[in-house]
Amino acid sequence: MHPVHAPFPAMRLRRTRATPSIRALVRENALSVGDLIWPVFVRSGEGIEEPVPSMPGVMRRSVDKVAEAARAAADLGIGAMCVFPYTGLADRTEDCAGAWGPENPANRAIRAIKAAVPQMAVMSDVALDTYNINGHDGFVEDGIIVNDRTVEALVKMALAQANAGADIIGPSDMMDGRIGAIRTALEGAGHSDVMILSYAAKYASAFYGPFRDAVGASGALTGDKKTYQMDPANGDEALRLVARDLSEGADMVMVKPGLPYLDICRRVKDAFGAPTFAYQVSGEYAMIKAAGANGWIDEERVMMESLMAFKRAGCDGVLTYFAPDAAKVLSM
């Protein structure tokens, strides 16, 4: 870029802001419904839509209701959903065997969405936390979150999701070596077209609080996730992680959380030019919802402004709990 500075009054930058049509002409970025991935929570049972208190408007749904929600999302033009399981203490074990059970609620939901709306791109979550008795994304041995044995389990989990029909595998666990291991296993099992969207730069963030309520992990988690998720003080490390995951076969990469890490989104996009996503996480959503409910901000405008910020920062798309609301605004 070669910015040119004409002296005032030759240059009056307000000229191109004068009317809606002029502003539309010079607008640099656009948000469309095709940019959105909608994360949903699935639980056991039938006919259930149970509100998550810390995420107003977000539900834990039984599989049948997830399928119904997929139809409604498709009607709004949403093309991608991401499935997270809610688990109770009874579903959590030390060996995390539920994680690769073909009939776990997440895998049943993946199948139900594909049956209801075949064109919906369905993304999965690969991490042990929702099946782990201690709430960690990996196995815990003597207080240590172990890497390599966890990766073997993650591979089984990813294969079960691909078998259920997932289009996009979403490893959110931050173990080392998992992308290559999952890619090799997918190829070996004939799932060569199944994509991997790697949670490549995932920070050890306090913004995940409401999500842990939503999936039932809040009470379960012992300690913190700082030995595998990133230090919020680091930026260069994010680039190393993204480079590593791309070199192991990730098709797309993610930065998470979203708004507090827009600098990372921009750096990742500029450095690699790969499909780059941000996750506007539960705490970001909850803050906007809470301030909106109090009348302290205009919720709809803040929602749209926050989503546009991701596009401006170079993201191709964004995972957001606002997806249905944003889709409605975009269709007006």
Helices and strands per DSSP (H, E), number in the chain: 11, 12
**Do residues 54 and 212 touch, judged by C-beta distance below 8 A?**
no
Spell out, one character per residue from 220 to 239, where the chain touches ligand PBG: x when CB under 6 A holds, - when not.
-----x--------------
Q: Quick check: 35 binds ligand PBG (CB under 6 A)?
A: no
Dmax (CA) of the chain: 71
For residue 210, cis peptide bond before it (omega within 30 degrees of 0): no
**CA-based nearest residue to 153, from 188, 134, 129:** 129
Residues 43-62 that bind ligand PBG (CB under 6 A): none
Please tell me the count of residues contacting ligand PBG according to CB under 6 A.
Answer: 12
**Do residues 162 and 186 touch, judged by C-beta distance below 8 A?**
yes
The label of the residue with tokens 């989104």 reads: 265
Tell me which amino acid residue 195 is. M
Residues 102-141 that bind ligand PBG (CB under 6 A): 125, 127, 129, 137
Q: Least Å distance between CB 273 and ligand PBG?
A: 25
The catalytically annotated residue of 65, 114, 202, 289 is: 202
Question: Is position 269 annotated as part of the catalytic site?
Answer: no
The catalytically annotated residue of 65, 114, 225, 256 is: 256
Candidate list 181, 281, 288, 326; residue touching ligand PBG; CB under 6 A: 281
Q: Quick check: 208 binds ligand PBG (CB under 6 A)?
A: yes
Spell out, one character per residue from 73 to 92, where the chain touches ligand PBG: x when CB under 6 A holds, - when not.
--------------------
What's the rounded Cα separation, in Å, for the pair 38 and 83? Answer: 9
Residues 159-178 that bind ligand PBG (CB under 6 A): 172-173
Q: How far is CA 277 from the centre of its chain?
A: 8
**Do residues 62 and 47 touch, judged by C-beta distance below 8 A?**
yes
Q: Least Å distance between CB 277 and ligand PBG?
A: 13
Q: Which residues are catalytic?
A: 202, 256
Binding site for ligand PBG (CB under 6 A): 125, 127, 129, 137, 172-173, 208, 211-212, 225, 281-282
